[in-house]
Amino acid sequence: MSVSAYIHSIATAVPEYRISQDEVVSRLSARMPNGMPDKLAGVYASAGIDNRHIAQPADSYMEPAQWPERNAIYLEEAERLMARLAEDALAASGHNADTVDIIVCISSTGIATPSIPTQMLKSQGFREDVETVPLFGYGCAGGVLGLQVARDLACARPEATILLFCVELCSLTFRMGDFTKKGIVSTALFADGGSAMVISAKGDGPRIGASAQKTWPDTRDMMGWDIDEAGLGLILARDIPSFVTREFAPVLDGFLEREGLEKSALRQPACHPGGRKVIEALERYFDHLPEGLPATREVLRGYGNMSSPTVHFVLKQLLENERDNRPILLTALGPGFTGAVGLVHP
């Protein structure tokens, strides 16, 4: 008899500090001798983002910071965000902290050993024997890949209750004065936020379906981290929107064929909004949707690219706002270079 895994609740949260795209441009322009050139300003104007949330007041990002300082902020702010997420996700699912058996934590924007969930056990009321599964390195693909891991754990341990975290503080990788292409893309797109889900093989809720992952060889230069005295520095060297059309679309085709699904059988998908041009490439693939990907665009506009949790913001919106029993396809792209795809059945 096959075992299925279900999502009992989804919680999302962002830090208290919000910054508009116009304010980002204004602050950076003030640091340039002759103001921001129109070509650079156009990158921010066309990013499809109005507002983002960041872990620290905007002034604190204007001066250089070293890795120990940045990581100390990560440890403090990520734990604060996870505490909020745990409370909200558990309350919405009707669970208590002491009923959680496994905590999976996806995060790639700081280093914590022991893991942040491990450090939270006593203060948040988790049992001392709860299992913690910290996963680093998934990046923007982590929302889909983390859901796969949680599903597999739930199916392998049908009596277990699993709490899945995705928390990223991308703003801590900001480097004042880096006006390279990747530096501009970073300051135009990335933001901070988190998500949490309560998942198990018991009860009901949206069912987590099949999934797939593909990593392309010799693509490390597409996305990832370099590490130096300032901490995590973005690797971003290739045209990802073109890659979506050329390489990721066939992966989606193959996955749907294996699952016996046509694109027309899907409702609006939950796509990780890597950026406006990535969304446009995905909309060309999902050409059966006359309105494109409005939920994905709305999350990008209001929150920016928060890396791993962003796709969960989209999924939560779709589940709450649309009454539609057709499957939801989740997609994300991340370091590796890796594509991730999965199904959720409402």
**Catalytic residue ranges:** 140
Cα separation, 85 vs 100, in Å, equals: 14
Cβ(89)–Cβ(150) below 8 Å: no
The beta strands (E) that lie in 221-298 are given as 224-228, 231-235, 270-271
In the structure encoding, which two tokens stand for residue 51, read together?
A: 């507002």
Query: CB count, 10 Å around CB of 345?
Result: 14
283, 274, 151: which is closest to 211 by C-alpha? 151
């939270």: which residue's tokens? 120
Cα separation, 306 vs 236, in Å, equals: 16
Cα separation, 305 vs 4, in Å, equals: 30
Strand 231-235 and strand 5-13: the pairing is: unpaired
The strand pairing partners of 340, in sequence order, are 213, 332
